[in-house]
Amino acid sequence: MTAPFEAYAALICDLDGVVYRGQAAVPHAVEALSAQRRPVLYATNNAARTPDVVAAHLRELGLAVEASDVVNSSQAAAWLLARHQPRGAGVLAVGGPGVGVALREAGFQVVERIGAERVDAVVQGYGPTVTASDLAEAAYGVQGGALWVATNLDSTLPTDRGVAPGGGSLVDAVVNAVGRRPDLVAGKPETPIYELCADRLALPPQQVLAIGDRLETDIAGANSLGMDSLVVLTGVDDLSAIIGAPAALRPTHVARDLSCLMLPEAAAECVRLTDEVKRQWAGVDRASDPEAHLRGLDVDGLLRTVTSAE
């Protein structure tokens, strides 16, 4: 293993934009992750797909992954709920198959419609077939006093046809009906999904590296837990966004892609790029001119300079 990543005992890796885009693998991702000799968990805010389905997709890409290597926000929600409700509690599951599966595995009694008996909790996640009736049931449960747990609050969902409403938009529909926000949120940028990963790894957060492509979810969640992070430029946020990020969203490391985990020259580029980003952060006088660091910044030129440096 090459610096700067040899000190980490395990990795927690985001999926979309880091390992794959749609059905296709991101360049270098499969090779880099396959070369690891330490545990890798794959953490996703996608609440709808079960770990079995996600693991099967990753195996199709060439990774040796089991369902136990995948942590989704539905599992994080069930893990979080177990801190507040006993096994066997009645829980209304709203969302895709992943929500109900995670709750049953955690020992909860899952219902899909509120009957005569009051439910103890509502767990709401994304699902492509969620209907207005499902959202109404969630609202009725919350109004009836049930603890309300959202798997995640991603407002949009990128698809091969464009951008669709995400789980956060469905949560907002219930918010509009009940007049308040969820009691608990499990997915990134909240920390429970990373806490669950660290618990599964039996490691303190300080020994784990979180990898992602979104500052406002992957990096913010890691920072909140005190976990170091690596952002790769293969997904949502680009170098300009990273340089312009406030302190709470700044990653520990910046790299072009996951080849930094296996190739010495890519790791060296990561060090140079990270150092340059930190230099840019240090030069920002955000109070007097919040955009000063972006004016005149040649991002492409910066990447070329870092790449060509000896």
Q: Pick the catalytic residue from 16, 120, 228, 257.
A: 16
Q: Mapping DSSP to helix (H, G, I), strand (E, B) and coil, where does residue 70 land?
A: strand
CB 107, CB 152: distance < 8 Å: no
Q: Which helix (H) or strand (E) holds 273?
A: helix 264-282
- Burial class from Cβ neighbours inside 10 Å (0-12, 13-18, 19+) for residue 38 reads middle
What type of residue is 173? A
Which residue is associated with the tokens 């207005």? 132
Per the annotation, the verdict on 16 as an active-site residue is yes
Terminal Cα-to-Cα distance of the chain (whole angstroms): 21
Residues sharing a CB contact under 8 Å with residue 142, sequence separation 6 or more, in sequence order: 122, 148, 174, 178, 180
Structure token digits, residue 156: 């949009």
What type of residue is 243? I
What type of residue is 141? G
What type of residue is 18? V
Q: Mapping DSSP to helix (H, G, I), strand (E, B) and coil, where does residue 284 land?
A: coil
Per the annotation, the verdict on 52 as an active-site residue is no
Which residue is associated with the tokens 């004016």? 295
Structure token digits, residue 62: 């060439």
Kindly give the residue spans of alpha helices, DSSP state H, lying in 39-131: 51-61, 73-81, 97-105
CB 236, CB 212: distance < 8 Å: no
Catalytic residue set: 14, 16
